[in-house]
Amino acid sequence: MRSVLRATKLCAAATRLAPGHGFATSSPSAYQATLERYSTRKYSPPDRKTSKYDVFRNMILTQFNVVVDNMGRWSETNTEYRNFGVRSEYGLNNEIALFRDTIQKAIGLANKGATLRKENPLFWSLRNAFIRGDVKGLTAELRYSFQSFMLRSKLTHSTARQRKLADLRYPMEWFPATRAMQRTIHLHVGPTNSGKTYRALQALMNSKSGIYGGPLRLLAHEIYSRFQANGKPCAMITGEEQRIPDADNYFISCTVEMTPLNRIVDVAVIDEIQMIGHDERGWAWTQALLGVMAKEVHLCGEERVVDLIKSICSSIGDKCIVHRYERLSPLQTMEKSLGNDLSNLEKGDAVVAFTRVNLHGLKNAIEETTGRRCAIVYGSLPPETRAQQAALFNDPNNDYDFLVASDAIGMGLNLEIKRVIFETSMKHDGTQYRSLTTSEIKQIGGRAGRYKTAWQAATATSDEANQVEEKKVGYVTTLADEDLPAIAKGFNTETAPLEAAGIHPPSHIIEQFAEYFPPDTPLSFILLRLRELAPVSERFTVYVPEISAKIADTIQEFPLTIQDRITVLHAPISLREQGQMDLLKAIAKCISTRSNGALYDIQPIQLELLDATLEDFNNQGRRYLHAIESLHAAITLYLWVSYRFPNIFTSQALAFHVKDAVEEKIEFYLENNAVFDPEVHTKVREKRRREARAKDMKAEMEVELRRLQEEEDESSAEKLAGIAPSEDDSIVFDQSSAGLDEPLVVDESDYETGLKDKEEKPKEESAATPAGYLTDPTMYPSCFWRGKVTWQLYLACLLSNSNWPAPFILHHPSKRNTLSNPFHKPHPHGGTRQQKHKSSTMTSTNPDPSAAAPAFIPLEANPELMTSLLHKLGLSPALQIHDVYSLTDPDMLSFVPRPALAVLLVFPVSAAYESHRLAEDALLDEYKGKGPQEPVLWFRQTIRNACGLMGLLHAVANGPAREYIQKPSDLNTLLETAEPLEPASRAQLLEKTPALATAHREAASQGATEAPEASDDVDLHYVCFVRGDDGTLWELDGRRKGPLNRGQLESGEDVLSEKALTWGPRKFLEREGADLRFSAVALAGSLD
């Protein structure tokens, strides 16, 4: 998304191009950027008249630049290009230029009305990827399309055979042994507390052999414990743990993904069958339904799955019997919340939260407020502890009156709950916060009403059952008033029927499919190619998880067999953290060499943390918790691979011991340190609510966009003439453009003309509409105006040709030069290249360097890169860099976690600024501060183009951020060495610190826009604002004579407070008049 914010032309009133920007501008045309970068082909500038999909074209070209940057330049060691047939740098430049031309042609066809998949497959794929996955999805699709383009000469000859092998219309045929059986499918559907799962489990309990497959490890353990308690031998099988009894015949309780498909049993129970439609995990339920070898298969779930299951059963010839159930006790949504007051809790209440920190914080707060005990239940608790806590809550004869639990209770845990209280109506889905779905609300809230009593009522007489219902009403409410309407609406909304079941290509098909590609072709490409070609029936949908493609790319460098690669694809890992990626690579190396798999031999597993205490982390609880949770995730992954590669990863027993020890450390910390502050909680919840509302609106927009796309495709099919459709639905490229090693001739005169023609004048404003405002702003919810999602929705509207005006404020005469537009962000590299036509009055931001001073590549103001740079140097993962979308709008400022510890402002070095700087510096003495008495740690800049790095050093070296620097680390060593030195000596220290130069070079070379040369002059500059330990707001700039005191902040005011912004960043905006080249980022707590 950030590259779009940097380079996409905004078609809105009062937009103008900032002069002299080759990249990192406020709003340059992405087409111009495309001409400037890797230009190897003559371009004709597009018509001045804006066409329907021009904005989308600009975004595609910009994101393609990102793809090329990430893939790297051609070299003999760049195996990715070689795997796709590129044998020289000339060939690569040729392919890049030809693919850009292909994109232009695809958009040209779309502008003429050709948008169907048959007639314009590349455009269709890119638009569909953007609608479904925003810019991230578009970028992934561009990478795949470019890879296909490079491999096109080899793909064409085998496409027909690939398509035949990729036929996934009949997944039931993947299980021939099961198809030879005559099965009876019992579908138990009904609301929660209706006894449907109980009836299915009774059938399992009364059988001679059977399998239970559930969605959670805790449910698998609960059923396992129940069978053990009844004297029936039972195995428990999950991805990370297997308990096999010493018996010839035994039942099996497992997670759905681990359901055995080669074992004939009498009864199989598959719980929560509505999960068959889940994007990421639905394939496991489909696989279990189609493949389990049981005479009777009992499916338990919601009413919305009935039609789909009946259709699947009809297609495979199995008899389907539907059993419908009603709730055994009434359920009622209360009219009032608890008003955020825990003293309003009553005996039998269960408070549901969605993070472990919140759960433990609530537990401690409830016990402190009420004086009564509170049990706690969530998925990652040790099974024995979880069972003990549930028993304590269910027992009416003790002082455990309350329960805090995760959403795991919605999946059928046996708990006697009188009232369910939602701590919030939002949940984090792995990328951002979203509102709870209707199904989740009903599943969780439906647990109210004495669950165990409902089970007893299932076997009672009719009169007894009615008495139970009258006495045991279940209630649902929320902790805060703001969440109650959303929960009430969920109970009054009917869930839509499921239309398709998810499937994942089985390993044997992937293996056969891979044989059609050259050796060393990335598995991620093979998976995406298979997904593209695979036809499916209307009952099923193919899903290749995004994480699978990332895992495949991460381990691509290691010489693994295709079978080993496919196995690792399903590893339980999150690649958002560098530590997890390093661990995955270490494990892949062990598999490739078939050695060094002992737990203590794998370096990324930091076993030394077992001896760590909170004091070792300077009493920074967040850092400590993050570290031990990362160790827990590493051990979990080790256990997972130890079951799949037992001859390599041989320390399974030790890993279980370490896992238990780590869990004890986590529980001990949470029990003694987690707090729940209602005031802080309210602020955080409001921020999450805005994010969730934005995502909800985006989801609604996606549905509407698909409808518009279908209508447009129908219209396009009728109107388009003269364009022959391709033979298949896959992306087809013009074979006449082949010639991988042919150098291209560039017409420099046309290139310069293209740049000149693309310089734009400010658009005239409509007399009917004030600049930057909607015709009727009231027609949009407030969340439509905020955050990254807004920009994505706006572009989606454009590319679907929705006639909606741009929903943002760019510039207004009464509010000059504010950052009120969240999309108007330059994200510069710390400056831009000095263009030849630039005014001679523009001053370089570089200081007069010493003879020995190096020159750095300017650093892009990219939060991810800056965060990565700081973490590499030694900053704790508890802090990260965040975008600041506005310096005036409180709602947009709220996207930054508070308190903000530092703000980095990027601004144009204009004549006005230089005059101000020289005048102010003339009144100041040269700064000589050093040692512990120094109010702030300040660095003089002598390194060319290092202002971005200087800003980051100033941000982390002062105020509370200093406490988040890990020991030992390069950053800690640098600051401790610098503290007793005078500014001149500190500057020399920075010049001679190789770790600093290395980390900076790696970060500066990975931006989403082209990195300039280290020798380039720049005209944008970084300045840092921090709050000192004494509350002073300091402006820190290595070009000045020293730190600048901008005023005294009150207690509780951070660098994004109204006072700090007025004294600091806004002064720069006021000084620069009409220049819009500003950007800001902040250092604050991590959102992960």
The residues that are catalytic are 947, 1021
Q: Give the separation between CA 772 and CA 362, rounded to whole angstroms.
A: 45
SS3 state at 200 = helix
Q: Give the separation between CA 277 and CA 285, rounded to whole angstroms.
A: 9
- 618: which 2 tokens? 């300077």
Report how far Cα 731 is from the mean position of its chain's Cα atoms.
Answer: 27
Nearest to 962 by CA among 903, 901, 1037, 1044: 901
Q: What is the dihedral of CA 885, 888, 891, 894, to 10 degrees?
A: 60
Q: Give the separation between CA 645 and CA 979, rounded to whole angstroms.
A: 51
Q: Give the separation between CA 180 and CA 391, rounded to whole angstroms.
A: 44
Within 199-307, strands assigned E span 210-214, 234-237, 242-243, 251-255, 265-270, 294-301
Residues 6+ apart with CB under 8 A from 218: 379, 381, 383, 386, 408, 413
SS3 state at 416 = coil
Dihedral (CA of 785, 789, 791, 794) sign: negative
Helix (H) or strand (E) holding 883: strand 879-883
Cβ atoms < 10 Å from Cβ of 611:
7
Dihedral (CA of 315, 316, 318, 322) sign: negative
Helix (H) or strand (E) holding 990: helix 983-991
Rg of the chain on CA atoms, in Å = 31
Report how far Cα 406 is from the mean position of its chain's Cα atoms.
Answer: 21
- 196: which 2 tokens? 């449907």
CB contact at 8 A, 448 and 417: yes
Name the one residue in this structure whose structure tokens are 């004294």.
1063
Q: How many helices (H) and strands (E) does the chain have?
A: 37, 24
Phi, psi of 221 (to 5 degrees): -70, -35
DSSP letter assigned to residue 777:
G
Q: Give the separation between CA 868 and CA 871, rounded to whole angstroms.
A: 5
Name the one residue in this structure whose structure tokens are 């640098």.
974
CB contact at 8 A, 349 and 402: yes
Residues 6+ apart with CB under 8 A from 390: 375, 377, 413, 414, 415
- 637: which 2 tokens? 């992954």
Q: Are strands 184-189 and 1079-1085 parallel, antiparallel or unpaired?
A: unpaired
Within 463-584, strands assigned E span 474-478, 501-503, 540-542
Q: Which residues pair with 475 in a beta bridge?
A: 332, 419
The amino acid present at 92, given as its one-letter code, is L
Q: Give the separation between CA 542 and CA 619, rounded to whole angstroms.
A: 48
Q: Give the separation between CA 241 and CA 253, rounded to whole angstroms.
A: 12
Q: Which residues pair with 542 in a beta bridge?
A: 503
CB contact at 8 A, 222 and 413: yes
Q: Give the separation between CA 1046 and CA 1028, rounded to whole angstroms.
A: 11
Q: Give the separation between CA 167 and CA 513, rounded to whole angstroms.
A: 11
CB contact at 8 A, 691 and 432: yes
